[in-house]
Amino acid sequence: MKAIRFSLTALTLVVAASAAQAQISDGVIKIGVLSDMSSLYTDLAGAGSVAAARMAVEDSGIEKRGYKVEIVSADHQNKPDVGSAITRQWYDVDKVDVIVDTPNSGVALAVNQITRDKGKAFLVSGAASSDLTGKACSPNTIHWTYDTWMLANGTGSSIVKTGGDTWFFLTADYAFGLALERDTEAVVLKNGGKVLGKVRHPLNTQDFSSFLLQAQASKAKIIGLANAGGDTTNSIKQAAEFGIVKGGQNLAGLLVFLTDIHALGLPTAQGLIVTNTFYWDSNDQTRAFAKRFAERDKGIYPTMIHAGVYSALTHYLKAVEALKSDDGTKVIAKMKETPTDDPLFGKGSIRVDGRKIHPAYLVEVKKPSESKGPWDYYKVRATIPADQAFRPLKDGECPLVK
Amino acid sequence: MPDPTSPAARVPFGETERTTAIAFALMVALFAVAPVVVYPVFLMNVLCMALFACAFNLLIGFGGLLSFGHAMFLGMAGYVCAHAAKVWGLPPEAAIALGTAASALLGLVTGLLAIRSQGIYFAMITLALAQMVYFFCLQAPFTHGEDGIQSVPRGKLFAVLDLNNIWVLYYVVLAIFVGAFLLIYRTVHSPFGQVLKAIRENEPRAISLGYDADRYKLLAFVLSAALSGLAGATKAIVFQLASLTDVHWTMSGEVVLMTLLGGMGTIFGPVAGALVIVGLQNYLAPLGQWVTVITGAIFVVCVLAFRRGIVGELAAWWAKRRA
C-alpha cells in the first residue's frame, strides 16, 4: 500500500513537472532552418539565419521555463526537389515542428504545400514571392519579412516617380524573379511608365554579358534587376564593366540586401535605391542586436532576412507558450490573432492571408565619403507606413480571405 | 587476378538459375519489410533509382552501349507524368503510362540517331541530345523552369488504391519495380538478350550470322528508355514534383556511377549501387558539399580495387569458393 502511494506521489510530481510540455509533440519544440548554405543566397540568409534562430530561442527564455527546444538546419541547394525531400523527412522522421527562412521562392512554394498537407508551421523570411500570401496562401504559413509586391511598390514606384519611366527587366528565371518582374511591371504601368523589354537568365548565372547587351540595346532609362543575392551583385559588377551606367542608363536593384552592398563595395553601389523592412542602424535595440549577431556570424551584420527569422521565431515561441502546444495549424492561428511586438520590427500584426504587416523603408546607399564605418551603408529617404507597405488584402486572390 | 575487362571475367552469367532465384526472393523480401524500420519515402527513392539503374544497365551491361544522356528519359517522363496528373487531371496509372510512353518515343527518336555510332561517340551524341532536352525543359512553359511542376496529386490508382496513404504508395512502387525488374531479367535471358550479348562481344560476327545489329540495338535502346521513363514517372508521383535535377547531366553521371559501383552487367548490381549512392546522399546530407567528394572517392576506390562492382565481386567470390 505504502509502495503504491509512493509511486502515485512520484507520478503526480512527474506529471506536474511535465505539464508545461503536455501538448508539445515528442516533448521538444523542433525548429528546422531550411536555407541556402552554400550558394548565391548563403550570405543574406544561410548560417546567419541559424544564428538568428538560436538568438531568438535564447532571448525568449523559454528553455528556462521547462520547454525543450532544438534547432536543426539543412541546405536546400536552391533545388525544389532537394528542399521538398528534406521537408518531408523533417516532418515524417525527425519530428520537426516548424520550418523557418527558406530563401528561394521555388523551394518555399514546395515547402508551403507540404507544410499544409502535414499540418505543420512554416515561417517565411527569405523567400519573396507575393504568391505565398496570394494564390498559394495557406493556414500554415506566415510570410514575415518582405515580398515582391512590397519591393515593387517601394523601389519601383519611387524610381518611376523620379523620371525613370522606361524599363527593361533582367529577371531570374524562376518563381521569385517572375513574381518580382510581374509586380514591378504593374507598378511601372500604373504610374505611366513603359516596359520596353525583358530578358530572363537562369538562377545563379556567372556571365551576364549577353543579357546586359540586350538591356543596353533597348535604350531603356532603367534596367530593373529582378534577381537577388549573387545574381544581383554579378549583374551590377558586369554592368559597370560594360559602362552601362556611364552610358546614361540606370540600374534599379529591386531586391538588394545589406550583404550585397558589402560585396559590391560603396564605390560601385553608391546611389542605389533599395527597399528594406529592417536596417541595423535604426535604434538602440537594433544596434545591440546587430552587434551580438555579428559576433556569432563571422562579423556579418544582419540583413532583413536574419532579423525576420529572429522576429518570426520570437512571436512563434510566444504563441507556443500561450497555447502550451506546438500543433502547427493552431500555433499559426494563434500567431495571427496576437499582435506582434519585438525589438527589431516593433509593433505589428499578421493578416488572415499570412502576411506580416510592418513599415518599409526606402533607403539610398551612401557615398563612400558619407559612410562612417563598416556596414554603415544606408540613409533612409522615406518610410512607407505599415498600412501602405504591403498589397491590400483584397487584391491578393488568397482563398482564405472571404 | 584475371583481367576484369576480358569477356570471360565479366561474370554476369556465372549466376546459376537457383542462386538468382534465391537472391531475387531475398531482395523482394528485404524491400517488403524494410519500410517498418527505414523511412518509406527514402526507400521509394531507392526503388526508383534502382529501376533507373537497371534500365541503364540493360543497355550498357548487356548491350555494351554507354549512354551518357539517360537523364533525359528519367526527367522527361517525370514532367509528362506530372503535367498529365496535375493539369490534365489524369489518374496516376494513366499519367505514369503516358510518361513512360513519352520516354519510349524520345528513346526511339534519339536512338535512331545515336546507335549509328559506337563507344565514345555514342556517349557524346547521347549527351548532346540530353543537353538539348535539358534546355527544352528549362525553357518550355509547362515545365515551370527552376520551380519544376509542384504539388502533383498522387490520386487513386485504378480508382481504388489511395496513393496518399504512404504504405499503399510504397507497395505500389515496389510492385512497379519488381515487375520491371522481372521484365529486364526475362529480356536478358531471352533469345533477344542472347543476340544482344553476341552483338556486344563481336558485332561484325553477329552481323555475318545474319542478325540486323542496328535493329537489336535500337530495340534495346527504346526498351531502356521506356523503363527509365517508368522510373522517372513513378518518382514524380512519389515526390509530387518533377524538377530539373532529373534531366540534368549530373543525373546521367550518377546512374553510370550506380551501375559501375553495383556491378555492371549483373542483374542485381544496379540495385545495390542505387542503394549505396542514394543512401550516401541521404544520410550524409548534413555534410553538404562533401557528399560529392565522398561519392567520388568511393568511385575511385571501386575502380581501383574492385572493378567488377559490389555484386560482381560477390558473385566472383562465391563462384571461386564453390569451385
Contact B289 A38 (CB under 8 A): yes
Does residue A346 share a domain with residue A366?
no
In the block, cell 531603356 appears at A220
B301 within some domain: no
Q: Provide the whole-model pTM.
A: 0.86
Rounded mean pLDDT for each run of 10 residues along chain A, 402 residues in total: 52 48 79 92 92 95 92 91 92 94 93 95 95 94 95 89 91 93 94 93 93 94 93 93 88 93 91 91 94 92 96 95 93 95 93 94 92 91 91 92 82
Domain that holds residue B243: 39-249
With an 8 Å Cβ cutoff, the interface of chain B facing chain A consists of: 39, 41-42, 45, 138, 145-148, 150-151, 239-241, 243-246, 285-286, 288-289
Nearest Cα residue to B285 out of A77, A31, A124: A77
Task: Say what the pLDDT of residue B145 is.
Answer: 83
A15 within some domain: no
Does residue A176 share a domain with residue A267?
yes
Does residue A258 share a domain with residue A211?
yes
Does residue A102 share a domain with residue A73?
yes
Residue in chain A lying closest to B139 (CA):
A173
Residue in chain B lying closest to A116 (CA):
B151
**How many CB atoms within 10 Å of residue B101?**
16
Does residue A225 share a domain with residue A158?
yes
Strand partners, A5: none
A8 within some domain: no
Which of A38, A79, A86 is closest, CB to CB, to B243? A79
A163 within some domain: yes
CA gap B154, B164 in Å, rounded? 6
Contact B145 A174 (CB under 8 A): yes
Does residue A130 share a domain with residue A163?
no
B235 within some domain: yes
Rounded mean pLDDT for each run of 10 residues along chain B, 323 residues in total: 41 64 92 92 95 95 91 96 94 95 96 90 94 92 88 88 91 96 94 92 92 93 96 95 92 92 91 92 76 84 86 88 79
Q: How far is A104 from chain B (nearest CA, A)?
A: 9
B316 within some domain: no
Does residue A73 share a domain with residue A137?
yes
Does residue A29 share a domain with residue A162?
no
Does residue A271 share a domain with residue A166?
yes
Task: Say what the pLDDT of residue A393 is.
Answer: 92
Chain A residues with CB inside 8 Å of B137's CB? none
CA gap B8, B220 in Å, rounded? 23
Contact with chain B for residue A388, Cβ under 8 A: no
B111-157 pLDDT per residue, tens: 999 998 888 999 999 999 999 999 999 888 898 888 899 989 998 88
CA gap A109, A308 in Å, rounded? 18
C-alpha cell at B200: 556486344
Chain B residues with CB inside 8 Å of A79's CB? 243-245
Chain B residues with CB inside 8 Å of A174's CB? 145-147
Contact B145 A74 (CB under 8 A): no
Contact A174 B41 (CB under 8 A): no
A263 within some domain: yes
Contact B285 A88 (CB under 8 A): no
Domain of A32, CATH number, reads 3.40.50.2300
Cβ neighbours of residue B308 under 8 Å, at least 6 residues apart? B4, B9, B10, B11, B263, B315, B316
Does residue A369 share a domain with residue A304?
no
Chain A residues with CB inside 8 Å of B148's CB? 80-81, 106, 110
Task: Say what the pLDDT of residue A14 is.
Answer: 47
Does residue A240 share a domain with residue A364?
yes
Domain that holds residue A295: 22-146+282-354
| Chain B interface disruption, residue of A34, A35, A81, most B CBs within 10 A | A81
Does residue A305 share a domain with residue A254?
no
B224 within some domain: yes
Which of B45, B148, B288 is closest, CB to CB, to A80? B148
- How many structural domains are present in chain B? 1
B296 within some domain: no
B6 within some domain: no
- How many structural domains are present in chain A? 2
A207 within some domain: yes
A271 within some domain: yes
Task: Say what the pLDDT of residue B124 is.
Answer: 94
Residue in chain B lying closest to A136 (CA):
B151
| Chains A & B: contacts with CB separation below 8 Å | 63
The three-state DSSP-derived secondary structure of chain A is CHHHHHHHHHHHHHHHHCHHHCECHHHEEEEEEEECCCCCCCCCCHHHHHHHHHHHHHHHCHHHHCCEEEEEEEECCCCHHHHHHHHHHHHHCCCCCEEEECCCHHHHHHHHHHHHHHCCEEEECCCCCHHHHCCCCCCCEEECCCCHHHHHHHHHHHHHHCCCCEEEEEEECCHHHHHHHHHHHHHHHHCCCEEEEEEEECCCCCCCHHHHHHHHHCCCCEEEEECCHHHHHHHHHHHHHCCCCCCCCEEEECCCCHHHHHHHCHHHHCCCEEEECCCCCCCHHHHHHHHHHHHHCCCCCCCHHHHHHHHHHHHHHHHHHHHCECCHHHHHHHHHHCCEEECCCEEEEECCCCEEECCEEEEEECCCCCCCCCCCCEEEEEEECHHHHCCCHHHCCCCCCC
Task: Say what the pLDDT of residue B13 is.
Answer: 45
Chain B residues with CB inside 8 Å of A88's CB? 41
Residue in chain A lying closest to B286 (CA):
A74
